[in-house]
A and B are shown apart, each in its own frame.
Chain A
Amino acid sequence: MAEPNVVLNNPEQGNATREQDLIARVQCGQNELFYELVKPYERRVYAAALAILHNETDAEDVAQEAMLKAFVNLRQFRAEARFSTWLIQITVNEALMRRRRERTVVMEGIDDRRDEETDYAPRDFADWREIPSESLERKEVRQKLAVALASLDRKYREVFVLRDVEQLNIQETAEVLGISVASVKTRLLRARLMLRDLLAGGWEQGWFSRLPFEKGSKPW
């Protein structure tokens, strides 16, 4: 008997089809498949919770709570939305609720919601070379990047993580955080520039490699 005449050359398309299939099955009561459905996103969900809460224990707990909420609300999920975005939205809501409950907002400053009015000027203008992604194989490099990200103020960290780590678009980031598109853009600019400067300092200390950059050139 001939194989079904369906060829999925694009792995992403194949994954999306499989995801839709899993969603439909869980919605029909095959609950045991739920973990399989969310497993590809579990680290992303954790990262989103961590960006908001800045505390690993709380982030893990909120990530679990968010997954449970996603499970009980899965019947309300509509196929026109991206499942990953829907999960992140639930996670951010859970994390924001947790933070409000625990009043950590006070700890991070009452001016936190106001955007900076002055422009941020870059500090480092060395010649640039691309950092090869292989450098991320090194745990030390990943840790340095994580520390730099964690050093950002909350409002910049949240926007940066949702946009550049979770890969939400600007509109989605604004909706998830309940802020304006203009605020997302302003905070994103500052977050990116600050991280660039923070990591430029790291380059001086040789974080990114023993790579054969040309004399006098830096990746920043």
Chain B
Amino acid sequence: MVSREAVNCEQVWREISNYVDGEVDSGLRAAMDEHFQACKRCTSVLAGIRNVIQLYGDERMIEAPAGFGRRLEKRLAQNVREASGWWPSWSAWLIPVAALALIVGGLQLAKSPTAKSPTAEAPLKSPQAQPGHNIPPDLVVLVVEGTKVFHVAGCALIHDKDKVQSLTAKEALEKGYTPCVRCMRKYLETASAGRARFGDETHVDADADGEDPRAGGGQ
């Protein structure tokens, strides 16, 4: 077997990290092995590097501040609740009731001389656009490329899941996105009670399997 040319200490130091990681070719490895047998200094360097890797790779070296896990769990719990709490399963029977109430209320409001058009409010980009109220600014929300509505995770009205981006609610509002009438309902209820576009609301309510209200808006 043809052995590779011998390597000196400087060459060994340059490659010693790759040697430990198995990132040197077999010829260089053999030459370095040969060098280590004869050189106490390089053997010391090799052993020291292995010590460094072993010590820092130990689980016990990864420490977080006291209470870190508890604080993380709390923050996750808050946001996870926001994301999942919008549609409690026990209230599914309320869907048709709420839809009916909204239809009736909408008809009555439409007749009212004091009813205002939502377009009288600040300009909004979505046909479903309504201003959000009391939405926690750091609530993580999702937007889908090409749309103007933001959602919480799990909303059935998110269709193109490959084009989803996450933002905070504050960022989404600043960029002109508006809250989804379905998953952001609880933030819209109070504010929109007197001027909501009941036709759209009714459509969403009646369509519990997640049809996009925009798709049905013109029908």
Q: Contact between B76 and A189 (Cβ–Cβ < 8 Å)?
A: no
A133 to B57, CA, bound (A): 11
Q: Contact between A42 and B154 (Cβ–Cβ < 8 Å)?
A: no
A47 in complex: contacting residue of B13, B58, B62, B141, CB < 8 Å: B62
Q: Which of A10-18, A32-40, A96-104 contacts B (4 or more CB under 8 A)?
A: A32-40
Task: Collect the chain B residues with CB atoms within 8 Å of residue A39's CB.
Answer: 69, 73
User: Chain A, interface size: which category?
Assistant: 35 or more
Q: Contact between A122 and B153 (Cβ–Cβ < 8 Å)?
A: no
Taking Cβ atoms with an 8 Å cutoff, the residues of A that contact B are 29, 31-32, 34-35, 38-39, 42-44, 46-47, 56, 60, 63-64, 67-69, 71-73, 75-76, 119-122, 124-128, 130-131, 133, 136-137, 142, 145-146, 149, 160, 164-165, 167, 170, 185, 188-189, 192-193, 195-196, 199-200, 219-220
A35 in complex: contacting residue of B18, B77, B140, CB < 8 Å: B77
B107 contacts the other chain (CB 8 A) = no
Task: Collect the chain A residues with CB atoms within 8 Å of residue B65's CB.
Answer: 46, 56, 60
B49 contacts the other chain (CB 8 A) = yes
Number of interface residues of B (CB under 8 A): 52
Known: A68-B76, A145-B55. 15 other contacts (CB 8 A): A42-B68, A42-B72, A43-B68, A46-B68, A67-B72, A69-B140, A119-B10, A133-B54, A133-B55, A136-B55, A145-B61, A185-B17, A189-B17, A193-B45, A220-B51
A60 in complex: contacting residue of B57, B63, B68, CB < 8 Å: B68
Given known pairs A133-B54, A164-B56, A196-B45, the reply for A69 and B68 (CB within 8 Å) is no
B153 in complex: contacting residue of A46, A71, A126, A189, CB < 8 Å: A71
A133 to B83, CA, bound (A): 43
Q: Which residue of A lies closest to B46 (CB)?
A: A128
Q: What's the nearest-Cβ distance from chain B to residue A81, in Å?
A: 16
Given known pairs A43-B64, A125-B41, the reply for A72 and B140 (CB within 8 Å) is yes
Given known pairs A73-B166, A193-B49, A220-B51, the reply for A133 and B140 (CB within 8 Å) is no
Q: Contact between A71 and B80 (Cβ–Cβ < 8 Å)?
A: yes
Going nearest first, the 5 A-B pairs with the smallest beta carbon separation are A128-B47, A189-B17, A196-B48, A125-B41, A220-B48
A185 to B15, CA, bound (A): 9
Q: Which residue of A lies closest to B41 (CB)?
A: A125
Q: Contact between A164 and B44 (Cβ–Cβ < 8 Å)?
A: no
Task: Collect the chain B residues with CB atoms within 8 Å of residue A170's CB.
Answer: 21, 23
Q: What's the nearest-Cβ distance from chain B to residue A58, in Å?
A: 12
A64 to B153, CA, bound (A): 17
Q: What's the nearest-Cβ distance from chain B to residue A85, in Å?
A: 15
Most B CB within 10 A of own CB, among A34, A63, A192, A200: A192
A195 to B52, CA, bound (A): 7
B111 contacts the other chain (CB 8 A) = no
Q: Which residue of B lies closest to A186 (CB)?
A: B17
A73 to B53, CA, bound (A): 33
B62 in complex: contacting residue of A44, A69, A188, A200, CB < 8 Å: A44
Given known pairs A43-B62, A133-B54, the reply for A72 and B153 (CB within 8 Å) is yes
A46 to B23, CA, bound (A): 29
A72 to B54, CA, bound (A): 35
Q: Contact between A71 and B51 (Cβ–Cβ < 8 Å)?
A: no
Given known pairs A43-B62, A71-B140, the reply for A160 and B18 (CB within 8 Å) is no
Task: Collect the chain A residues with CB atoms within 8 Å of residue B49's CB.
Answer: 192-193, 196
Task: Collect the chain B residues with CB atoms within 8 Å of residue A200's CB.
Answer: 48
B32 contacts the other chain (CB 8 A) = no
Task: Collect the chain A residues with CB atoms within 8 Å of residue B10's CB.
Answer: 119, 121
A121 to B64, CA, bound (A): 33
Q: Contact between A142 and B44 (Cβ–Cβ < 8 Å)?
A: no
